[in-house]
């Protein structure tokens, strides 16, 4: 079927602007559809730039309330000639994925047995065990095993000696306890494993570190994507993680001089060596021999060599062990040795290794690439035993050569034993401390790896391309114009520089993003637990972010930088913004949120340590921040995080988020029939949870709680101005009898604005809409207008620039020119630090006043940046016509 014959043609582009040379493992993305236009995924088809149908697979990610398709995941096979662009059509004639490629290649298949799943892409085959100590028993290419017995490994140390002393390390291996096929083709297959690490040795030893591993397969793929997530569940006072990795056994058959080590360095560089080197010897084996070994081809038969070399092969050392260690963001070291028990020989070093290595011979081999390798230091790549019949290749996600992971709280409490003392501490360091709450037990981390199955040692140029693909995966996305036309994610519009005033605001948005991207690099905001986050507030006296001052350090989603980045990406389509937002989503959804224990489903407020603050709240864990990535990429791990939150309203029974400042603290006790739930950050997070779950799964519980509480807010005398309502956990409804007015400047700046805007259009409720419009209209109204409307002036009105978007929403909804003018006036006047042009400039600070040259922006903080960005984006979309 030709493209011209298809209806509803949607352009899909590569995020980096042009097609990669190859997609070795296939590709997957997510895309939305206008309400009521696509009945289901069976109506979708994909064509290349020439209009020719290509095999595809689609599945629903979300539906509209009328049952039509809202978001779909779409997958394409691996290919050596990807199209420059693709087109998705809603042609109902052929089910998505029913076509085959023109070459007639087989679809990816999953065969189940009592003990294992066997997945075949047509190029590679993997046998995945249903349980036990291996993730897969074999990975084969064209029938030859290139790797087997993949397993998770970890080391735990019982202490960190200060000076003289010893510490004991114990080895653990991941034990798979459950396995399931989540997708089984025809274009994409996904297998999910879960388990725990168990201590090595006889008997049933202790276990820890729950993990989930997914393997992703696409039709015709020669590589497999692996996503590994684990939850830290140790005792920070005595359990020090000293290594975490994935180990593979690589069988080797060829002669030692035909076994090849390839390790990526920085900037596309590679170490290319053989286990037994034939170059640089005192006697020359012959040019053909040397050239073949360097190229990774089989050398000529030994009879054709210079006999002065072939007769002395046993006297040439064999190098069986290699290690690349990246212990920080700025340097890696490469070394090798002949075998265990012998000294290491330094090879070289460099700056930022790509996180890729391969071990192969002329019959085949394995390559491994780790995404964000140096950014998530300390990492390490090990090859051991390459001179034997089988070798071990270990991708260390946390290097055993680094200082063991120390997650103890960073101070002794400073005598803050009572709420009064803790509130005093808040006044000086902005840290909300409480004994026992700076506990990391339950935080998580996700890594992405790519496994390449080779039928022989590839040319180094090909390996460099594989390393690049693993480090920066190619991604297809719909255009900003199409995403906007689909009516998703509320109030935003594509970048528009059509007037000088618009262009000036766009320039300022660009300035702020580029400033933060630069700060990540200059301030080295990298590391295992840190990569993806940014700092909260700056210290101009020290020319440093306040990394060591209580609540001013890591930002942990405070005032929604996640939303600022995702809306910036939606409207621009910029790859650099996408990857910044992606890293933040991976971090904030994993590290800043608890995934088990008493605070499961809650996140931690900003702190020197990501888990340090005693404010454990839904405003940090809210799906409002993570659903963008899920819908745009169809990422199953993010889907897990969204699912974890479905019952997060239960948390109000166990932990009152405002326990230290509650006016009625003397009488209030959590009661499942009358839980105090704030109508701002709390309900906004619950609404995002219920909305996302309803759209994803159709869960009637989430639907009823969302729609029911919307109706209850509309029925409250003062609507959102009530501030807090009493929630019945069993019924999922608010008591509508409360009559009070309590306004907080924080209520609307953690996703409430965005979620309410969507809900008004998605699930119309006139009373709810009026309650939201009242809040938007009155928040920045004059005191006289507030008194006239509700009988009193509102207290707690701050962040005027941020809240200008509330006024803009009311102006757009009510078609009120005067409110539109007020929105832009409030935006211009109300920014505490970003309401003047001089803020959007940099000054360079140089040594010796700093460690290295850094840029400062005179009045920038992350709170202001995030809310300035959202105000610009939403005001332009809502009342942009009134800007001039």
Distance in angstroms (rounded) separating the CA atoms of residues 548 and 534 = 14
Distance in angstroms (rounded) separating the CA atoms of residues 568 and 505 = 13
pLDDT at 734: 98
pLDDT at 9: 86
Mean pLDDT, range 251-278, rounded to an integer: 98
Joined tokens for residue 101:
């490629």
Q: Between residues 836 and 156, which one has the greater pLDDT?
A: 156
The domain spans of the chain are: 3-89, 493-882
Q: Please spell the DSSP secondary structure of 385-413, one letter per residue.
A: -TTSSEEEEEEEEE-TTSPPP--S-SS--
pLDDT at 831: 64
pLDDT class of 165 with cuts at 50, 70, 90: confident
Tens digits of residue pLDDT in 230-240: 999 999 999 99
Q: Between residues 495 and 94, which one has the greater pLDDT?
A: 495
Distances (CA, A) of 258 to 272, 301, 856, 857: 12, 11, 54, 56
- Nearest alpha carbon to residue 570 among 518, 628, 517, 515: 628
Q: What are the residues whose beta carbons fall under 8 Å from the beta carbon of 236, sequence distance 6 or more?
A: 406, 407, 408, 409, 439, 440, 441
Element containing residue 572 per DSSP (H, E): helix 561-572
pLDDT at 859: 87
- Nearest alpha carbon to residue 323 among 243, 370, 393: 393
Distance in angstroms (rounded) separating the CA atoms of residues 318 and 259 = 10
Phi, psi at residue 531, to the nearest 5°? -60, 130
Question: CA 269: distance to chain centroid?
Answer: 27
Contact assessment for residue 132 and residue 222, using Cβ atoms and an 8 Å cutoff: no
Q: Which of 162-176, 521-535, 831-845 has the lowest mean pLDDT?
A: 831-845
Distance in angstroms (rounded) separating the CA atoms of residues 736 and 709 = 10
pLDDT at 164: 87
Tens digits of residue pLDDT in 475-517: 999 999 999 999 999 999 999 999 999 999 999 999 999 999 9
Distance in angstroms (rounded) separating the CA atoms of residues 547 and 538 = 9
Q: Are strands 136-141 and 223-231 parallel, antiparallel or unpaired?
A: unpaired
If 0-12 CB within 10 Å is exposed, 13-18 middle and 19+ buried, where does residue 436 land? exposed
Question: CA 708: distance to chain centroid?
Answer: 32
Q: What are the residues whose beta carbons fall under 8 Å from the beta carbon of 290, sequence distance 6 or more?
A: 278, 279, 284
DSSP 8-state secondary structure symbol assigned to residue 7: S
Average confidence score pLDDT of the chain: 95
Q: What angle is formed at CA 626 by the lines to CA 227 and CA 41, rounded to 5 degrees? A: 75
Position 103 pLDDT exceeds 80: no
Phi, psi at residue 31, to the nearest 5°? -155, 150
Helix (H, G, I), strand (E, B) or coil at 767: helix
Position 7 pLDDT exceeds 60: no
Joined tokens for residue 806:
């509330």
Q: Are strands 364-370 and 444-454 parallel, antiparallel or unpaired?
A: antiparallel
What number of CA atoms fall less than 13 Å from residue 370's CA on the CB side? 31
pLDDT at 317: 97
Position 6 pLDDT exceeds 70: no
Instruction: Give the neighbor-by-neighbor strand order of the sheet with 27-32.
Output: 27-32, 69-76, 57-63
Helix (H, G, I), strand (E, B) or coil at 562: helix
- Nearest alpha carbon to residue 461 among 634, 316, 269, 628: 269
Element containing residue 321 per DSSP (H, E): strand 321-328
Q: What are the residues whose beta carbons fall under 8 Å from the beta carbon of 535, sequence distance 6 or more?
A: 519, 523, 525, 545, 546, 547, 552, 553, 554, 555, 862
Position 857 pLDDT exceeds 50: yes
Joined tokens for residue 169:
């390390």
Tens digits of residue pLDDT in 779-826: 999 999 999 999 999 998 999 999 999 999 999 999 999 999 999 999
pLDDT class of 858 with cuts at 50, 70, 90: confident
- Nearest alpha carbon to residue 131 among 71, 177, 79: 177
Count of residues in the chain:
884
pLDDT at 497: 98
Distance in angstroms (rounded) separating the CA atoms of residues 424 and 428 = 7
pLDDT class of 4 with cuts at 50, 70, 90: very low
pLDDT above 70 coverage of the chain, percent: 97
Full-model pTM: 0.96
- Nearest alpha carbon to residue 510 among 873, 44, 107, 1: 873
pLDDT at 106: 58
Mean pLDDT, range 678-698, rounded to an integer: 98
pLDDT class of 104 with cuts at 50, 70, 90: very low
Distance in angstroms (rounded) separating the CA atoms of residues 47 and 4 = 11
Position 420 pLDDT exceeds 90: yes
Contact assessment for residue 399 and residue 379, using Cβ atoms and an 8 Å cutoff: yes
Mean pLDDT, range 661-678, rounded to an integer: 94
pLDDT above 90 coverage of the chain, percent: 94
Distance in angstroms (rounded) separating the CA atoms of residues 845 and 852 = 8
- Tracing tokens 């690349």 back to the chain, one arrives at 324
Q: What angle is formed at CA 687 by the lines to CA 685 and CA 692, rounded to 5 degrees? A: 100
Contact assessment for residue 484 and residue 821, using Cβ atoms and an 8 Å cutoff: no
CATH number of 493-882: 1.50.10
Helix (H, G, I), strand (E, B) or coil at 264: strand
Q: Angle, nearest 10°, between helix axes 766-779 and 783-790?
A: 150
Q: Please spell the DSSP secondary structure of 155-176, one letter per residue.
A: EEES---SSS----EEEEEEEE
Mean pLDDT, range 461-486, rounded to an integer: 98
Distance in angstroms (rounded) separating the CA atoms of residues 807 and 821 = 9
If 0-12 CB within 10 Å is exposed, 13-18 middle and 19+ buried, where does residue 316 land? middle
* Beta bridge partner(s), residue 359: 261, 366
Joined tokens for residue 571:
């409207």
Q: Within 432-560, where are the H helices?
A: 460-471, 480-485, 500-522
Contact assessment for residue 187 and residue 106, using Cβ atoms and an 8 Å cutoff: no
pLDDT at 163: 86
DSSP 8-state secondary structure symbol assigned to residue 56: -
Phi, psi at residue 372, to the nearest 5°? 55, 45
Count the helices and strands in the chain (H runs, E runs): 20, 37
Contact assessment for residue 119 and residue 189, using Cβ atoms and an 8 Å cutoff: yes
Position 95 pLDDT exceeds 60: no
């Amino acid at each position: 079927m030709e493209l011209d014959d298809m209806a509803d043609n949607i352009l899909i582009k590569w995020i980096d602007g042009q097609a990669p040379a190859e997609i070795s493992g296939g590709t997957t993305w997510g895309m939305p559809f206008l309400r009521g236009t696509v009945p289901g995924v069976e109506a979708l088809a994909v064509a290349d730039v020439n209009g020719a149908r290509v095999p595809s697979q689609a599945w629903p990610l979300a539906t509209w309330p009328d049952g039509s398709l809202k978001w779909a995941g779409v997958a394409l096979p691996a290919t050596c000639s990807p199209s420059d662009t693709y087109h998705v059509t809603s042609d109902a004639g052929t089910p998505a994925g029913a076509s085959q490629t023109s070459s007639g290649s087989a679809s990816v298949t999953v065969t189940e047995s009592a003990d294992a799943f066997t997945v075949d892409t047509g190029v590679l085959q993997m046998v995945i065990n249903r349980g036990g100590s291996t993730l897969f028993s074999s990975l084969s290419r064209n029938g030859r095993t290139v790797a087997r017995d993949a397993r998770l490994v970890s080391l735990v140390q019982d202490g960190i000696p200060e000076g003289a002393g010893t510490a004991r390390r114990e080895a653990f291996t991941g034990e798979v306890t459950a396995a399931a096929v989540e997708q089984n083709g025809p274009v994409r297959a996904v297998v999910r494993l879960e388990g725990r690490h168990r201590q090595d040795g006889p008997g049933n030893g202790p276990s820890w570190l729950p993990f989930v591993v997914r393997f992703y397969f696409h039709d015709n793929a020669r590589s497999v994507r692996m996503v590994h997530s684990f939850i830290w569940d140790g005792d920070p006072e005595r359990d020090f993680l000293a290594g975490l990795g994935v180990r593979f056994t690589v069988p080797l058959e060829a002669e030692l001089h035909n076994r090849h080590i390839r390790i990526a360095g920085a900037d596309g560089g590679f170490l290319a060596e053989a286990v037994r080197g034939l170059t640089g010897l005192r006697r020359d084996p012959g040019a053909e021999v040397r050239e073949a070994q360097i190229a990774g081809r089989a050398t000529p038969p030994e009879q054709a060599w210079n006999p002065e070399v072939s007769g002395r092969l046993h006297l040439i050392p064999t190098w069986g062990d290699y290690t690349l260690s990246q212990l920080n963001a700025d340097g890696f070291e490469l070394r090798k040795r002949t075998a265990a028990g012998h000294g290491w020989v330094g090879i070289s070093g460099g700056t930022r290794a790509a996180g890729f290595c391969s071990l192969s011979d002329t019959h085949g081999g394995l390559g491994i690439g780790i995404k964000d390798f140096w950014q998530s230091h300390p990492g390490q790549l090990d090859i051991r035993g390459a001179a034997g019949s089988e070798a071990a290749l270990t991708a260390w996600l946390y290097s055993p050569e680094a200082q063991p992971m120390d997650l103890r709280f960073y101070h002794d409490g400073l005598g803050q034993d009572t709420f009064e003392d803790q509130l005093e501490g808040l006044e000086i360091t902005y840290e909300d401390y409480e004994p026992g709450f700076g506990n990391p037990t339950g935080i998580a981390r996700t890594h992405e790896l790519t496994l390449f199955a080779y039928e022989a040692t590839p040319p180094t140029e090909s390996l460099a391309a594989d390393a690049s693909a693993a480090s920066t995966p190619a991604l297809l996305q719909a255009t900003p114009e199409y995403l906007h036309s689909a009516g998703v994610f509320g109030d935003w519009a594509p970048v528009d520089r059509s007037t000088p005033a618009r262009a000036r605001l766009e320039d300022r948005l660009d300035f702020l993003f580029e400033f933060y991207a630069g700060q990540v690099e200059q301030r080295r905001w990298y590391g295992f637990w840190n990569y993806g986050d940014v700092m909260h507030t700056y210290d101009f006296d020290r020319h440093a972010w306040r990394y060591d001052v209580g609540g001013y350090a890591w930002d942990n989603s405070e005032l929604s930088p996640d939303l600022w980045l995702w809306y910036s990406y939606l409207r621009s389509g910029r790859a650099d913004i996408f990857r910044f937002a992606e890293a933040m989503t991976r971090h904030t959804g994993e590290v800043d949120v608890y995934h088990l224990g008493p605070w499961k489903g809650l996140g931690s407020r900003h702190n020197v340590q990501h888990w340090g603050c005693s404010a454990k709240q839904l405003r940090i864990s809210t799906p409002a921040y993570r659903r963008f990535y899920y819908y745009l990429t169809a990422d199953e791990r993010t889907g897990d995080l969204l699912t974890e939150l479905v019952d997060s309203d239960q948390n109000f029974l166990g932990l009152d988020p405002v326990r230290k400042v509650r006016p009625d603290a003397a009488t209030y006790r959590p009661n499942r029939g009358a839980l105090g739930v704030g109508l701002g950050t709390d309900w906004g997070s619950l609404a995002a949870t219920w909305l996302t779950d309803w759209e994803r799964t159709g869960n009637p519980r989430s639907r009823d709680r969302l729609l029911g509480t919307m109706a209850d807010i509309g029925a409250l005398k003062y609507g959102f101005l009530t501030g807090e309502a009493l929630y019945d956990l069993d019924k999922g409804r608010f008591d509508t009898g409360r009559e009070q007015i309590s306004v907080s400047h924080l209520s609307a700046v953690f996703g409430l604005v965005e979620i309410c805007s969507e809900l008004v259009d998605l699930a119309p409720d006139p009373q709810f809409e009026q309650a939201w419009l009242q809040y938007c209209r009155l928040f920045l109204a004059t005191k006289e207008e507030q008194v006239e409307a509700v009988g009193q002036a509102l207290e707690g009105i701050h962040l005027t620039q941020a809240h200008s978007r509330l006024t803009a929403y009311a102006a757009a909804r009510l078609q009120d020119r005067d409110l539109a003018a007020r929105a832009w006036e409030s935006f211009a006047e109300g920014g505490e630090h970003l309401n003047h042009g001089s803020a959007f400039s940099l000054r360079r600070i140089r040594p010796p006043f700093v460690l290295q040259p850094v840029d400062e922006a005179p009045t920038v903080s992350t709170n202001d940046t995030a809310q300035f960005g959202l105000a610009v984006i939403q005001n332009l979309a809502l009342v942009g016509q009134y800007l001039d």
